[in-house]
Structure 1
């Protein structure tokens, strides 16, 4: 496989090589690809976790009677005010 790098990418690799921490451009690219793979796995795990939380919230909402918007906002404001009181004690 042959790849082309942008001038900025080439400069980055050269800068990394000059530190002496890496032995070759291939080593740098291998590390970058490993990190990309870890990122993709973490992203997939995050997406799955969020999906489960959405499903749980949807299920809970189906078992909870609906409330109007004004009641909802008032409940949030009430909790906020209670938390302010709790924090003011410190």
Structure 2
């Protein structure tokens, strides 16, 4: 079997050999194939697990074990309210850096000017809701195709940036590191 490689891949393989991690290009390719095989095995396992979970849901539905959405969300909201009351009744705070507020403004301006005002309003509402959620469950978040980067602060979170998932994130962070 003959395989054609791009110059970039050939250069990468050569750099791996030169680094001393591998003794030959064949060893690099074999390691890559093993990693690919492992990833595929994990994916297949997760897919099978997902299928099992879906079957559990289908079987529950067949047995009539269903609950209306209004009941589910009402119960969960009541539960969250009880948890808030135990913690002193206050939600965690969510504050924005100036660059983050400018990011949101830019995104909303773009959507309003290129798509529609209604779409911009819906997106703004989604971002707002996600930020409120993040204040109580700090981690990295995503709204549609936008990434919300935050960090925990005392009593809540601080939104650092809100960027399009289509942006060149490496360049964005490089600019941040240089600035």
Give TM-score, length-normalised by structure 2: 0.44
The Cα of 1:4 is off from its aligned counterpart by 0.9
- State the match for 2:161 in structure 1: none
Match runs of 1:1-90 below 5 Å: 1-63=1-63, 64-67=65-68, 69-85=69-85, 88=87
Instruction: Give the number of the structure whose alpha-carbon radius of gyration is greater.
Output: 1
* Higher strand proportion: 2
Distance across 2 between alignment mates of 1:34 and 1:78: 49
Say if 2:60 and 2:66, in contact at 8 Å, map to a contact too.
Answer: no
Higher helix content, 1 or 2: 1
**Which aligned segments of 4 or more residues in structure 1 are displaced greater than 4 angstroms?**
none
CA RMSD for the aligned pairs?
A: 2.0
Which deviates further from its counterpart, 58-67 or 12-21? 58-67
Q: Which runs of 5+ in 2 are unaligned?
A: 89-179
Distance 1:39 1:2, change over 3 A: same
Distance 1:49 1:85, change over 3 A: farther
Question: Cα offset for 1:65?
Answer: 4.3
